[in-house]
Amino acid sequence: MIRGSIEFASADLIQGWIHTSDGRVRDYTLLAFQGDQCVGAGRVDTFRGDLADAGIGDGHLGFSFPISVAADAVGSVVLRLEGGDAVLLQNSARVAGGTKARAGLSREDVRERLAALKWALKHGRVSQADFDFLRILWSFGAYERGLLRRVAGDEAVVADKPAAVAAALLESYAGTDVRTATQTVRTPAEFASALAQTLAMPSAPPVVAVHASGRATVRVAEGTHVADTEGAPSASFTDYPLTGEQLLILDARARCEIQMGEGATVEIVRAEPAA
């Protein structure tokens, strides 16, 4: 299994990190492709103290090397280990000199949204539940919602349907009626691709609801959905275990990765404005 992140991409440079399940990736050659064309090559030869501190290999997992690609094609560049078929996709990389499907929030955006949200709660324009949801999601880029609840006046515990809860939360984020679509993924590469597809849809909110069948964990570098912090090498990851009893709302602009157990499947629910 390959893990990693393309943290920066421009018309002439690509940077990030990569780790393989066998731990032998130091000094391996990476090939950058735009479509079928190889646009650059470099070695995994940079020590990353943040990764070593997180227990990911020996920390010699970083790469930074020149590429040559048209500015408007930067967002489609992918990486392959020489001699392998696995692909490292761009997820929440910061693209310079090119185009990105969706820019991150600015710190000022977050401050203004939170101030408006506090005003809305004070004047009864938003519920406490929606206030807590939006405050956490805007601040950290991820929000957990349990699906189990106790019936009022009864000892019975019922499980809400993930699709219904996801639709309600996505509508709260969008502030309007939405229609939802669900995509099932079975590998980390499919997960990253699904997030990239969401960001490529300008009419869709840049957030998704994630629900798992089987064992899976989403690791999120909290706060990296904010434009001036995304891709920061010092950002630490927080693990969000996925179970059948909870839902994760994730800002697709945040730097993240997923670990999936054997046989696990993950459903990703995205929203579009209702016609």
The model's pLDDT over 67-78, given as tens digits with 9 standing for 90+, comes to: 888 877 788 888
Q: Does residue 93 register a pLDDT over 70?
A: no
pLDDT of residue 135: 95
Domain boundaries, the chain: 2-96, 107-273
Which range is least confidently modeled, 11-20, 130-139, 189-198, 225-234?
A: 225-234
Does the structure show a pLDDT above 80 at 50? no
- Residue 1 carries which side chain, given as an amino acid letter? M
Q: Taking the domain 107-273, which CATH number applies? A: 2.60.120
* SS3 sequence of the chain: CEEEEEEEEECCEEEEEEEECCCCCCCCEEEEEECCEEEEEEECCEECHHHHHCCCCCCEEEEEEECCCCHHHHHHCEEEECCCCCEECCCCCEEECCCCCCCCECHHHHHHHHHHHHHHHHCCCCCHHHHHHHHHHHHHCEEEEECEEECCCCCCEEECCHHHHHHHHHHHHHCCCEEEEEEEECCHHHHHHHHHHHHCCCCCCCEEEEEEECCEEEEEECCCCECCCCCCCCCCEEEEEECCCEEEEEECCCCEEEEECCCCEEEEEEEEECC
CA-to-CA distance for 5 and 237, rounded, in angstroms?
Answer: 13
Q: Say what the pLDDT of residue 224 is.
A: 86
**Positive or negative torsion for Cα 90, 94, 96, 102:** positive
Percent of all residues in the chain with a pLDDT value above 70, rounded to a whole number: 90
pLDDT 10s digits, 168-202: 999 999 888 889 999 998 888 788 878 877 877 77
What's the pLDDT at 100? 44
pLDDT at 54 over 90: no
Considering the segment(s) 2-96 as one domain, its CATH architecture is Sandwich (2.60)
Q: How confident is the model at residue 36 (pLDDT cuts 50, 70, 90)?
A: confident
pLDDT at position 177: 86
Report the pLDDT value the prediction gives residue 232, as an integer from 0 to 100.
Answer: 46
Rounded Cα distance, 58 and 117, in Å? 44
